[in-house]
Chains A and B, each alone.
Chain A
Amino acid sequence: MLGRTANGLFWMFRYLERAVNMARLLDAGLRIALTRDIVSAEDEWRSVIAAAGQREAFEQKHGTYTGMQAWNFILRDRDNPASIINMFEQTRTNARLARNAISSELWEAINDNWMQISAIMAKPVGQGSVNEAVTLIRSAGTLAHGAMLGTMLRDEGFHFARAGTYVERADSIARILDIKYYLLLPSLSYVGSSLDTGQWDQVLRSVSGDRAYRSLHAGQVDARGIVEFLVLDDRFPRSLAFCHSALRDELSALARLHGSEGESNALMRRADTRLSDLTIEDVFDQGLHEFLIEFAGTNAAIGQAIASDYRFLS
């Protein structure tokens, strides 16, 4: 396969993951804002925008935080480089680039959803249609993954696509955790104590982990338990441990197909060893923020090593 095509597949699924994660985050915000009065709803939207990593861009454009402004910014603002419409467009552009490495069903899943998403986002999204927009994006992701699993040849292209998914997912979870934990707390003395459970509820919702967490922890919400769940519980498909274990499998499969290991496999092995020996106490001893920064750095380095091992760009 061409290096450029591999790059297209990798980024197609990174952007798709990013768009869908953003939709989840927005969905969690919508849910919580509904239960607040106007004043605290404003705080809530501020924290959603912050968790999306779009605070600076948003405040350049808007002086206040209203729901309408916030969700339109996240959903469809072309000036916002991380808006869902921009992410989904990038997904489709990469799918076109890699058009003959993906199945028709996968292409049509992306293209058909693109037509619907751009139609619903052609004009400002109001209170009445914001849920519809979010649902559409989430189901677009589900449909694309389903089409891929059901129809794509298990060749290197498949593994590049999966690798892109997990690199992106790990990055976005680390980011959400970090922002929530480090930036949004009133002060460090709150760390590890009983917290604003609403905030943690939102974290869980934004990674679609609320139900799974409740069933494992009999409904008890505490910061340490949630962090442990999202960092170390490899049964949950949106935990850091799960993402890296899945990424390791994809990279091993690629190395097998190519008959040799590269820099990405070496980095992966080191990251793996580090994570598998870790307890939640170690994480808090190091400091969660420091741990997450280190994790995201390793994750990004693995992404870059994949690109150079498999000649994505040169």
Chain B
Amino acid sequence: MNESSENFDEMQAGDGTVRKAYEDYNTWYQAQDARFLKRKHKDAEHSFRRTGITFNVYGEDEAEERLIPFDMVPRIIDANEWRKVSRGIEQRVSALNAFMHDLYHRQEIVRAGRLPESILRNNDAWLPHMVGFTPPGGVYTHIVGIDLVRTGPDEFFVLEDNARTPSGVSYMLENRETMMQMFPELFMQVGIEEVSNYPRRLAKSLAACAPKMTEGRPTVAVLTPGIYNSAYFEHAFLADQMGAELVEGTDLRVVDGRVAMRTTHGYKPVDVIYRRVDDEYLDPLTFNPDSVLGVPGIMDVYRSGGITIANAPGTGVADDKAIYSFMPEIVEFYTGEKPLLPNVQTFRCSEEEDRKYVLDNLEELVVKEVHGSGGYGMLIGPAATRAEIEEFRKKLEAKPDGYIAQPTLSLSTCPIFTKKGLAPRHVDLRPFVLVSPDNIEITPGGLTRVALKKGSLVVNSSQGGGTKDTWVLKD
């Protein structure tokens, strides 16, 4: 590599030797002609544009479709590492699901004094409509994305839980497709775990959560806000791959106590809805009355057991960063085990001692909004100017319980392809997890996001981040 990395690098050890997981790849890479690689680099972009894998950026011209940059150097994880990581994920996801059930029932965790009740009161995603109700099959979080970062050989941390509507899985799939088209010989030389069966597994997992009254094979539909939504491509892609219908709110209505979609033959009942519409837009009769994205009356059908909504309404509670800070306790409370995957150390600005520490050390910390996502509304102390820090200080002092802070992690790097050769850039990893009544399945790998700017720690696509194919090696 032309630039050296001060952090843990996924490909290269500090002494410049190539790590074991990358040995085969490196052998192949060294044998490639530089011009060939440059041409492939260009081809990749064209191929993404052709297939239409685009996303729309909020706040920009609605019609504008952007491409998430793709980098063709894979992020490689060896089988052993992955086994450890996936055990930790499974434990965490199983705890999350149990936690959701408890929150909307007896709240044992609050009674036991392990989670302050105030955290729930301040949580916007909390839905009183879910209290006392158990979704079909007892599953709340059908699809989960756990964001991981790495700082050392054996040091993976959970940065964020996405239990509401994790996105990005279409990129995981298309990245692999593109890599296989560009470098077929690589896939013959290196044993890599498959990811392409994800849509099939998703369809199966959703069908397994169908309501009891379902007759025959469950009808599954993906509910999208429509073609101007930033993730429309993904919604259409997943529906297509699953052989499910892609529906909008206007296609659905409640007919004879079921949610039904308007087909060319008339209304036909839907059993499972994989919705990519937020809770508050789901049912104008129950939530936001102005919503045209949802289905009037769907919540009544849901509560009477007539439909499965994935993920269950109200699961956004877990995406809250104040809840995140309690995840170690939550995992232990429901699984009876110590968490296998640690949290990043987190300071709650709602607590006096933590707040004081945070305010004294803003220039060293990453401060995040409790309800924020997508990399918006955060302060990265070491990268911020004095003025930005002071401005943020005011916001934080005005509403301390709206923020948490974390030390700036030295995220691992992974090489990207540049015109001058390989160069290290920071990465994270979002594995995708499917939950059905008696099964938790984790797709090997997931989506690796990469900050394309040198030194940058922000990997979000809305902030100029890119993605990579992620390989888990076979044993």
Contact = CB atoms under 8 A, between A and B. Distances in A.
A93 B62 CA distance: 13
Nearest to B267: A311
Interface residues of A, number: 22
Contact of B50 (A4, A93, A108): A108
Interface stretch (B209-217, B245-253, B285-293, B328-336): B245-253
Given A1-B264, A4-B262, A96 B51 contact: no
A311 B50 contact: no
Interface in A1-20: 1-6
A163 to B, nearest CB: 12
B49 to A, nearest CB: 6
A237 B232 CA distance: 37
Contact of A2 (B51, B52, B236, B261): B261
Contact of A115 (B49, B251, B263): B49
A1 B51 CA distance: 23
Contacts of A115: 49-50
A44 B170 CA distance: 51
A100 B264 contact: no
Contacts of B239: 100
Given A2-B251, A3-B251, A107-B52, A100 B263 contact: no
A112 interface: yes
Contacts of B50: 108, 111-112, 115
Given A4-B250, A97-B227, A104 B51 contact: yes
Interface of A is mostly: helix
Contact of B247 (A2, A6, A111): A2
A311 B262 contact: yes
A23 to B, nearest CB: 22
Contacts of B245: 2, 100
B227 A100 contact: no
B265 A258 contact: yes
Contacts of A108: 50-52
A88 interface: no
A156 interface: yes
A145 interface: no
Contact of A3 (B49, B227, B232, B264): B264
A85 to B, nearest CB: 12
A180 interface: no
A96 B52 contact: yes
Contacts of B232: 96
Interface string A253-278: 00000100000000000000000000
Contacts of B52: 96, 107-108, 111
A310 interface: yes
B248 A311 contact: no
Given A2-B251, A3-B251, A99 B264 contact: no
Contacts of A4: 248, 250-251, 262
A104 B237 CA distance: 11
B240 interface: yes
B240 A99 contact: yes
B266 interface: yes
A100 B265 contact: no
A93 B262 contact: no
Nearest to A107: B52
Nearest to B266: A311
A100 B262 contact: no
Contacts of B264: 1-3, 6, 156, 258, 310-311
Nearest to A4: B251
Nearest to B47: A108
Interface string B34-75: 000000000000000111100000000000000000000000
Q: Which of A2, A3, A97, A111 has the largest number of chain B CB atoms within 10 A?
A: A2
Interface in A279-314: 310-311, 314
A104 B181 CA distance: 16
A99 B266 contact: no
A284 B261 CA distance: 49
A74 B355 CA distance: 64
A93 B245 CA distance: 18
A310 B263 CA distance: 8
A314 B251 CA distance: 8
Interface string B265-294: 110000000000000000000000000000
Nearest to B245: A2
Interface in A89-105: 93, 96-97, 99-100, 104
Contacts of A111: 49-52
Nearest to A310: B264
A311 B263 contact: yes
Contacts of A1: 263-264
Contacts of A93: 227
Given A2-B261, A4-B251, A108-B52, 5 more contacts: A2-B246, A96-B236, A100-B239, A115-B50, A258-B264
A-B pairs with lowest CB-CB distance, top 9: A100-B240, A99-B236, A310-B264, A3-B262, A111-B52, A100-B239, A6-B264, A96-B227, A112-B50
Interface of A: 1-6, 93, 96-97, 99-100, 104, 107-108, 111-112, 115, 156, 258, 310-311, 314
29 contacts: A1-B264, A2-B247, A2-B251, A2-B261, A2-B263, A2-B264, A3-B251, A3-B262, A3-B264, A4-B248, A4-B250, A96-B52, A96-B236, A97-B227, A99-B236, A99-B240, A99-B246, A100-B245, A104-B51, A107-B52, A108-B50, A108-B51, A111-B50, A112-B50, A115-B49, A156-B264, A258-B264, A311-B263, A311-B266
